[in-house]
């Protein structure tokens, strides 16, 4: 089916590889399941069937309600009831659905400026700028920060949007082993002693790019060590807080809050508004001069649509709730529930003998399946027990490091987690997934 037709090259060719052909034959349950309703504590899947045993599906007209362990709904703001939804509904009446313009033309509203102030205050930086997508934020920021003659050093497990964006900036790119500070220092030492290729001129700038909390590993960046190295080697530091903002730290303000580090020590804090805030979009927070440069030069600012009014209001309401300004105590309660739930499920899974990756306080819990053939089986067995989980494998992970990834939410309660543990216990035995002795703290 990859043959050319009437002399035209097929456009579908490259991705139809071993992975898609062999595995997607059996993935009815695990990828791109369409849903209906709110992706909150529960998620309703639209049932579908495949006529050809391949990966084209027809909806059957029925639905299945499942416990949702797959959405990034860390603080439970995906829910469509409550103060956030009321305010967003009013915003639609007052401001309409779309800004119908890029930021640089007529796309900056009073709401945009209000949200930018709120985000800057929340993350502890002087200024911030919002974008319509987290992906677009990373895909467009690097050319404004660094360019030719600069060195960008990236953690090897950085998100696809960082890889995508950093390729556009013209800088030399080096990668260091995931979270390995010795490897980072080795690269820095080599790069600084040798200078730019051929000319040996010193680098104009060095930018180190990491994530706060890694979405496939559940690991936290080693921020204290990164700050130490930064002082020694004088690089700029960019931290993508897509999964950590709102989700880690005693006040939910991300990795600086978690490690007790002054946000002034980090040059650029990037984050998404899609996860902890139940909205859409991304942001950058930095010194006023950096944000000012971004606002005049960034391609998304000049050429892309901006976050919509109802989305901006959702972000503002969620931030005010986390800060305790809108509903006193509720932000703190959500943060505490998220931490409790994350630790409870992680510990329970370890006790059962699963190999679980990541930091104890991470709401992302990767459970190792290793063999890619176990991905559809795991997903299918969990669905039989009315629980939806995401399974991840190649190309998001190495082929033999396939895993299930559970996303914890403050919207889950202890009964949900006990139900999850009971299901994992059964499915773990069935698929032989209990690789460790079951001593908590291992792996």
According to DSSP, residue 221 is labeled: P
Question: What's the min distance (Å) between Cβ of 155 and ligand PMP?
Answer: 10
With both helix axes pointing from N to C terminus, report the angle between 414-430 and 330-352 in degrees, rounded to the nearest 10: 20
Q: How far apart are CA 24 and CA 235, in angstroms?
A: 43
364 or 387, CB closer to ligand PMP?
364
Residues that bind ligand PMP (CB under 6 A): 133-135, 138, 159, 161, 211, 215, 240, 242-243, 272, 274, 282
In terms of DSSP bridges, do strands 390-392 and 127-131 run parallel, antiparallel, or are they unpaired? unpaired
Q: Which is nearer to ligand PMP, 159 or 403 (CB)?
A: 159
Question: 229, 243, 270: which is closest to 361 by C-alpha?
Answer: 243
Query: Would you say 255 or 377 has its CB closer to ligand PMP?
Result: 255
Q: Least Å distance between CB 166 and ligand PMP? A: 12
> How many Cα atoms are found within 13 Å in the side-chain-facing hemisphere of 236?
18
Q: Which residue number, 211 or 257, has a Cβ lying nearer to ligand PMP?
A: 211
Least Å from the CB of residue 131 to ligand PMP: 9
- Shortest distance (Å) from residue 283 CB to ligand PMP: 10
Q: DSSP string covering 398-425, please? A: -GGGEEEEEE--TT--HHHHHHHHHHHH
H or E segment to which residue 141 belongs: helix 134-145
In the complex, minimum distance from the CB of residue 270 to ligand PMP, in angstroms, rounded to a whole number: 7
Strand order in the sheet with 35-36: 35-36, 42-50, 57-68, 387-388
| Nearest CB to ligand PMP, comparing residues 203 and 277 | 277
Q: Which helix (H) or strand (E) holds 59?
A: strand 57-68
Residue 158 vs 317, nearer CB to ligand PMP: 158
List of E strands, 224-294: 236-240, 268-272, 282-286
For ligand PMP, give the closer residue by CB, 112 or 215: 215
DSSP for 27-55 reads: -TTTSS--EES--SSEEEEEEEEESSSSS
Q: How far is the CB of 159 from ligand PMP (least distance, A)?
A: 4
The distance of closest approach from Cβ of residue 340 to ligand PMP in the complex, given in angstroms and rounded to an integer, is 24
Smallest distance, ligand PMP to C-beta of residue 239, A: 10
- C-alpha 438/C-alpha 197 separation (Å) is 50
Task: Identify which of residues 77 and 135 has a Cβ nearer to ligand PMP in the complex.
Answer: 135
Of 175, 176, 170, the C-alpha closest to 150 is 170
Q: How far is the CB of 161 from ligand PMP (least distance, A)?
A: 5
Residue nearest to ligand PMP (CB): 134
Closest CA to 119 of 131, 109, 129, 104: 129
* Contact between 239 and 268 (Cβ < 8 Å): yes
Shortest Cβ 22–ligand PMP spacing (Å): 26
* Separation CA 15–CA 22 (nearest Å): 12
Of residues 131 and 203, the one with the C-beta less far from ligand PMP: 131
Largest separation between any pair of C-alpha atoms in the chain? 67
- Which of 62, 78, 69, 80 is CA-nearest to residue 30? 69
Q: Which two tokens stand for residue 294?
A: 């971004």
Q: Which is nearer to ligand PMP, 215 or 219 (CB)?
A: 215
């Amino acid at each position: 089916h990859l043959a050319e037709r009437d002399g035209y090259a097929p456009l579908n060719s490259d991705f139809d590889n071993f992975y898609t052909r062999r595995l997607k034959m059996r993935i009815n349950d695990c990828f791109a399941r369409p849903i209906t309703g709110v992706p909150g504590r529960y998620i309703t899947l639209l049932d579908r069937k495949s006529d050809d045993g391949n990966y084209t599906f027809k909806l059957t007209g029925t639905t299945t309600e499942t416990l949702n362990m797959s959405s990034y709904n860390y603080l439970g703001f995906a829910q469509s009831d409550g103060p956030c939804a009321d305010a967003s509904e009013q915003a639609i009446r007052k401001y309409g659905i779309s800004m119908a313009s890029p930021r640089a033309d007529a796309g900056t509203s009073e709401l945009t400026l209000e949200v930018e102030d709120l985000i800057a205050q929340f993350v502890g930086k002087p200024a911030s700028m919002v974008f319509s997508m987290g992906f677009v934020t990373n895909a467009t920021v690097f050319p404004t920060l660094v360019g030719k003659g600069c060195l960008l050093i990236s953690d090897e497990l950085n998100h696809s949007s960082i890889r995508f964006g950093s390729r556009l900036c013209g800088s030399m790119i080096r990668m260091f082993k995931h979270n390995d500070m010795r490897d980072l220092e080795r690269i820095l030492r080599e790069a600084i002693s040798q200078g730019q290729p051929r000319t040996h001129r010193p680098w104009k700038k060095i930018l180190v790019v990491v994530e706060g909390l890694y979405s496939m590993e559940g690991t936290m960046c080693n921020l204290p060590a990164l700050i130490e190295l930064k002082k020694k080697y004088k690089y700029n530091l960019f931290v993508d807080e897509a999964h950590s903002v709102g989700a880690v730290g005693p006040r939910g303000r991300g990795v600086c809050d978690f490690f007790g580090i002054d946000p002034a020590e980090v040059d650029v804090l990037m984050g998404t508004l899609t996860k902890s805030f139940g909205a859409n979009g991304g942001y950058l927070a930095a010194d006023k001069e950096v944000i000012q440069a971004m606002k005049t030069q960034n391609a998304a600012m000049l050429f892309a649509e901006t976050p919509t009014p109802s989305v901006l209001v959702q972000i503002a309401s969620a931030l005010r709730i986390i800060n305790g300004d809108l509903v006193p105590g509720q932000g703190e309660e959500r943060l505490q529930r998220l931490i409790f739930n994350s630790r409870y499920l992680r510990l329970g899974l370890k006790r059962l003998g699963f190999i679980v990756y990541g930091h104890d306080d991470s709401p992302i819990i990767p459970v190792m399946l290793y063999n890619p053939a176990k991905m559809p089986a795991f997903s299918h067995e969990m669905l039989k027990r009315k629980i939806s989980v995401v399974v991840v494998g190649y190309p998001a992970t190495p082929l033999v490091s396939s895993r299930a990834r559970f996303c914890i939410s403050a919207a889950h309660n202890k009964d949900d987690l006990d139900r999850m543990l009971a299901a994992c216990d059964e499915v773990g035995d069935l698929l032989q997934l209990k690789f460790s002795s079951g001593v908590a703290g291992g792996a």
